[in-house]
Amino acid sequence: MNDRIFVVFNPHAGKGRGAQLVAPVLEELSFGGAEVEHALTQAPGDEARLAREALDRGFRRIVAVGGDGTWSNVGNGILSSDKRAEAELGLVPGGTGCDLAKSLGIPPRDVRACCRVILDGATRAIDVGKIEDKYFLNIAGFGYDVAVLEDSWSVGYLEGSLLYLYCALRQLGSYKGFSVEGEADGRPLGRRDMLMVIVANARVFGGGFKVAPWADLEDGRLDALSFANMGLGGRVSALVRLVLGSHASHPQVERIAAARFVYRFEAPPTYETDGEWNQARTKELVIEAIPRALRVRVPRAD
């Protein structure tokens, strides 16, 4: 691996925190003599384009500064490149949720420590998920999860788990639910009325909720958590258990691990991938695991 590093900054991540990290991140990465170049995103989609352009110019270590959406978009740029097998992704948390970092053991608020991982850490090949033409590193979500995400756009005074918990409480009684027919590795799951479906590659979502604490980023499978539609009391109980990480034992929550899921909706749904809002093109969506597709810099084992 050469010493050339390209850094993609999302200056709008974390309500402007991404812009504040430009100078300290560049200083830390350059300290050991590495050749470092960088660019700031200007518009949606810039992250993937900048990552691909950097790979075409010979960079093989791509660093993404932001949150889960920024990391996912840079990851998509790497994964859609013919240089993906040679590339490595480094993460510096600077966004709202930064959930993937929690599954990988990357320090949440320590720029120096994150840069040491990028310069001197280990490389881990992790699974990714794919839905339509997008890859996701952390989770894909449907239903209540998307309603919470949409609500969070109007709240400017909270961050991280507090933001998502606040919006989750605001949506708890008003979200109507949805009907979906599922299939896991070819096994029919039937049609059910659902509150939320989370297909997890990693362990944490929503700024810190341990949605799949058992998830393994190298097992070639995804973990689907299906929350049945229920009354307000049941929803409160499920949310409390989700906060505590014990929701899998709730009678209205089903956990299934599979390499490939198919979901058939009554109309093309909205969904989220790593905190990014999407509108599906069709009523049937295939979600599949791509084993060990992305090389990521992680802390060395003690």
Kindly report each contact of residues 228-236 with a partner whose C-beta sits within 8 Å and lies 24 or more positions away, as own/partner: 228/192, 228/193, 228/194, 228/195, 228/252, 228/253, 228/254, 229/177, 229/178, 229/193, 229/194, 229/195, 230/195, 232/172, 232/173, 235/172, 235/173, 235/195, 236/172
For position 160, what pLDDT does the model report?
Answer: 67
Q: How confident is the model at residue 141 (pLDDT cuts 50, 70, 90)?
A: very high
Same domain, 73 and 193: no
Q: Does 92 map to a domain?
A: yes
Q: Does 17 map to a domain?
A: yes
Same domain, 83 and 142: no
For position 31, what pLDDT does the model report?
Answer: 86
pLDDT > 70? residue 275: yes
Q: Does 128 map to a domain?
A: no
Chosen domain end from 69, 91, 120: 120
Q: Does 126 map to a domain?
A: no
Domain span including residue 213: 136-291
Question: What mean pLDDT do residues 167-173 have?
Answer: 91
Which helix H or strand E contains 245, and what residues bound it? none
pTM (two decimals): 0.92
Same domain, 92 and 194: no
Chosen domain end from 60, 86, 120: 120
Angle between helix 160-171 and 144-152 (nearest 10): 120
Same domain, 141 and 267: yes
Chosen domain end from 120, 147, 165: 120
Q: Please state the domain count of the chain.
A: 2
For residue 32, CA distances in Å to 5, 120, 297 come to 12, 10, 17
Average pLDDT, whole number, for the chain? 93
Between residues 2 and 199, the one the model is more confident about: 199
